[in-house]
Amino acid sequence: MRGVLGLTAVLLTAAAAATGCGTMAGSTTPGAASAPPSVPVELKSTCDALGQVYGERMAPFAESLTTLVGRRTPDAQKRAQDSLAAFATAVDDATRASGDAALRADGKKTAEKLRAKSGDPKFFAAIKTEKDVTTTLGPTLKEWLTPVTRHCS
């Protein structure tokens, strides 16, 4: 039962992080970007794509980290690494075609940071408790995503 409650808390934390990451000011739907009329179309479409990325990639990453904490095996760590790498690729894909040059550059920077972390076994070895998972999905992930989220919030 504790594991289910822990996973629920982690997923709620992830959802809260995703809400802040993929929304623009004035948005009413968590995880979906909605741009004010003055925002250029290329920015709105990229923010919409980022909102979709967070919606699709956050839960698998959260679940893989929770599994890693409960079952410290090479397979569980590989799944967590792969999940973060997939998140990085999705961020890169969502921002690569943006008409906004700064957002494209920040998307690339963010994806590179996520990919670097996905390949760092020390990063995953340090995640040992549910609190570590919550920190990773909250403040840590928010910091990593700041270069792109500042364009969409």
- Model pLDDT, residue 84: 97
* DSSP code of residue 1: -
Q: How far apart are CA 56 and CA 145, in angstroms?
A: 15
Please, what sign has the CA dihedral across residues 98, 99, 103, 108? positive
Assign 3-class secondary structure to 24-70: CCCCCCCCCCCCCCCCCHHHHHHHHHHHHHHHHHHHHHHHHHHHHHH
Q: How far apart are CA 89 and CA 110, in angstroms?
A: 10
Please, what sign has the CA dihedral across residues 93, 105, 57, 55? negative
- Model pLDDT, residue 38: 59
> Which pLDDT band, with edges at 50, 70 and 90, does 39 fall under?
low
> Which pLDDT band, with edges at 50, 70 and 90, does 37 fall under?
low
Task: Kindly state the average pLDDT of the residues 32-50.
Answer: 71
b/e 63-86 (16+ beta carbons within 10 angstroms → b): bbbbbbbeeeeeebbebbbebbbb
> Which pLDDT band, with edges at 50, 70 and 90, does 153 fall under?
confident
- Model pLDDT, residue 152: 86
Residue with tokens 């009329």: 37
On the question of pLDDT at 19 being above 80, the answer is no
Higher pLDDT, 63 or 31: 63
Tell if the pTM clears 0.85, that is, is over it: no
Residues composing the chain: 153
On the question of pLDDT at 136 being above 90, the answer is yes
Residue boundaries of the structural domains of the chain: 2-23+38-152
The first and second tokens of residue 47, run together, are: 């923010």
On the question of pLDDT at 14 being above 60, the answer is no
